[in-house]
Amino acid sequence: MKKLRLLYLPVESVEGDQRARRKIFADMLSEGRLEALEIFSYRIFGREHGWDAMAEKVYEIAKDFGADAIYWHGLWTGHLNEKIMARIRDLPSKPAICNENGDPFGNFWVVPYPKCLLSLIKYTDVCFNSGLGRVAEYLKRHGARHVYLLPHGYDEVSFGEPIKTERDYQNDLVMIANQWKSRRPFASAPGAKERPKLIAALQEEFGDKFALYGKGWEKFQCGRGPIDFFKQVEAYNASKVAIGIPQFSDIEYYDSNRPFNTIAMGIPYVSGYSPKFDEILKDGVHCHYFKTPNQAVDKVKWLLSMPEQQRLEMALSAAEYVRKHHTQRSRMEILLSTLEGIWAYKHYNSPFPEEIKTFIAQ
């Protein structure tokens, strides 16, 4: 298989924000997994110079670099010039083009799909998405030819420190989440609607042994205020059990990177249920799912009732599984292998690559 010349377009507000993917691709280059690598932080450029200039810049870089593959990461702001996108697609190097979107969307009223994203998917060979179901159906109706599942994963670059097996517990339960607020009246994501009900039930049951971090929870006594993203490890290591609920629990296979990052730290994770996500992390083995606040309370109480050594062994086994099978590196391997297959399809008339599903639990 040909080694690719990869143009990576990270979605960043500050140069270097995507530290995991940047390091992973740099490692792939040094290992000889890639022939060449070019990185262009398109959103920063677009905000400073304009979105048409951004698209033209992507075209010039792809042409001069001789990109075999273009990985467009996210696209949520500004607009995308489709005439320039057509020129990018039709470059003489016939690049394999993909986009990856890790965020969920609702409908025209609740977090609508960005117009720029809908422009992009018409010109990509495959859309990698963190959820399927209604999302995949919507993207296909708007011009996407192939929508492949690529769940979030464990960020081993940011949270790669060894697991602590000896801990000074300060809390029985911890939750890290912000209160979701929309500018539109009565608009709310399904999971966001359930969070206050869940928190109220947990506060009533676990009192001051429940630590809630994040913005917007001032009315709850368990609220501890916002926490720095990279300080999460400390909060998890000080707690016996962690809990969370996805914002859009109506999307098949969808959840954020929080379950993976949390489980990888060696703490049992209780999660709101999204359809089919238990095919990725098995219930009662890697994760513990609930559909109602009462079920959440029961799952947490069950975990807390275990002898500490038994609970820790279960958590360490799940952490080992996530660190082996659900790393960000493994996700980028799927993406890169698919791009290699698309390149062969375009240049040698090979079969179009099928969806890779090594993240499904066996």
Give 276: exposed, middle or buried? Use CB within 10 Å, 0-12, 13-18, 19+: middle
DSSP secondary structure letters along 253-265: T---SHHHHHHTT
Q: Whose structure tokens read 């696209």? A: 75
Task: Note if the pTM is more than 0.85.
Answer: yes
pLDDT digits (tens, 9 = 90+) for 36-51: 999 999 999 999 999 9
pLDDT of residue 154: 97
pLDDT of residue 184: 61
Q: What torsion do the CA atoms of 75, 80, 84, 85 make, to the nearest 10 degrees?
A: 40
Angle (nearest 5°) at CA 126 between 122 and 132: 100
pLDDT of residue 186: 53
* One pLDDT digit (tens) per residue for the chain, 362 residues: 789 999 999 999 999 999 999 999 999 999 999 999 999 999 999 999 999 999 999 999 999 999 999 999 988 888 999 999 999 999 999 999 999 998 888 776 677 899 999 999 999 999 999 999 999 999 999 999 999 999 999 999 999 989 988 888 999 999 999 886 666 655 556 667 788 999 999 999 999 999 999 998 999 999 999 999 888 889 999 999 999 999 888 899 999 999 999 999 999 999 999 999 999 999 999 999 999 999 999 999 999 999 999 999 999 999 999 999 999 999 999 999 999 999 999 999 999 999 999 999 97
pLDDT of residue 69: 98
Residue 358 CB neighbour total at 10 angstroms? 12
Q: At what angle do helices 190-206 and 293-305 cross, to 10 degrees?
A: 50
pLDDT of residue 188: 58
pLDDT of residue 165: 82
Q: Whose structure tokens read 């676990």? A: 206
In 3D, which of 147, 141, 152, 85 has the Cα closest to residue 116? 85
pLDDT digits (tens, 9 = 90+) for 243-266: 999 988 889 999 999 999 999 999
pLDDT of residue 2: 87
